[in-house]
Structure formats: C-alpha cells, structure tokens
C-alpha cells in the first residue's frame, strides 16, 4: 500500500473515531453533572466534547497507524477481534499517558484519572472492534458482481 493511501486511511480512521467519541463525551458529561462532579454549563459540555473529539481523532489515527503496521499482511476476515480490541485500547491509552507526561505528572484526582483511563481504554477497544465489524458487514453486503469494498489481499 502506498504511503499516501496509508496516510489517507489513517486520517479516515481518526475522523470515524471522532464520530463515536463526541457522543460518548456528551454521555460522560451528563453522568458527571448527575454525579455532581461537574457543574452544568453549555461551555463546559462543549469544552469536554472538543477535548474528546481531539482525543478521538488522535487515538483513531494512532489505531490506524498501528493496524497498518502490525496487521498489514492480514485480510479483514483474518483479523481477530481480541487483537483489534487490544490495539484499540492501547492506542486509546497512549494519549492520556502522553498527556500525563507532558503536564508534569500532575493529576488533580486519582479516581478521576483511573476512571478516565478505563473509559478511554473501553472506548478505544469498542471503536476498534466496532469499526472492523462494520467493515466486515459492509463487505458482505456488496453484490457478487461488484468488486469488494476492501481488498482481499494487501
């Protein structure tokens, strides 16, 4: 696969992850408001949505890059869900880890940080497995006389 095609695929993966992460951020912010951990304001909710959009894009691109290297020789049907989920979780955990290092290891609340790590890892694994599942399903829906949406061989 050419470098431009690979880069385009990585960027598309990042955009697809944003589509998932923004609604998740809105659900999380609603949960924080109900729990009393966050005071409700439209600005606060939009800031949280923006943070999760950026996080989703970066982690989606990281997942796309890891998949393009680690699983490059595998066809879509040969990808194992647990491996895809693991790559998704690890890609999602990379962003909070880098953020922690860049902020000088300052954590306002250990419980909130652990919750954020768990939510990020679950969201990353869910995004990864869901994305591959949708791609498999789309490939099966293709009429027999049409070329496949995804190449069967790399």
Q: Tens of pLDDT along 14-30?
A: 998 899 888 887 887 77
Q: CA 12, CA 19: separation in Å to the nearest integer?
A: 11
Does some domain include residue 105?
Answer: yes
- Residue 78, classified by CB atoms within 10 Å of its CB into exposed (0-12), middle (13-18) or buried (19+), is exposed
Number of structural domains (the chain) is 1
Contact 58, 51 (CB under 8 A): no
Q: CA 102, CA 16: separation in Å to the nearest integer?
A: 26
Q: pTM of the predicted model, to two decimals?
A: 0.74
Does some domain include residue 66?
Answer: yes
| 98: containing domain | 3-141
Kindly state the average pLDDT of the residues 42-55: 81
Does some domain include residue 146?
Answer: no
Does some domain include residue 53?
Answer: yes
Contact 79, 71 (CB under 8 A): yes
Does some domain include residue 154?
Answer: no
Contact 64, 72 (CB under 8 A): no
User: Which of 57-66, 67-76, 119-128 has the weakest average pLDDT?
Assistant: 67-76
- The whole-angstrom distance between residue 43's C-alpha and the CA centroid of its chain comes to 24
Place of tokens 């880890």: 97
């Amino acid at each position: 696969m050419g470098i431009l095609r690979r880069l385009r695929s990585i960027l598309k993966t990042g955009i697809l992850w944003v589509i998932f992460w923004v609604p998740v951020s809105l659900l999380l912010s609603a949960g924080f408001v109900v729990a009393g951990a966050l005071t409700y304001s439209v600005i606060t909710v939009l800031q949280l949505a923006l943070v999760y959009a950026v996080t989703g894009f970066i982690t989606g691109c990281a997942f796309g890059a890891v998949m393009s290297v680690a699983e490059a020789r595998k066809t879509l049907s040969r990808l194992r869900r647990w491996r895809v989920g693991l790559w998704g979780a690890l890609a999602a955990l990379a962003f909070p880890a880098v953020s922690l290092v860049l902020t000088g290891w300052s954590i306002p609340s250990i419980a909130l940080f652990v919750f954020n790590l768990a939510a990020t890892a679950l969201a990353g694994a869910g995004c990864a497995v869901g994305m591959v599942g949708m791609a498999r399903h789309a490939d099966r829906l293709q009429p027999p006389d049409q070329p496949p949406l995804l190449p069967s061989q790399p």
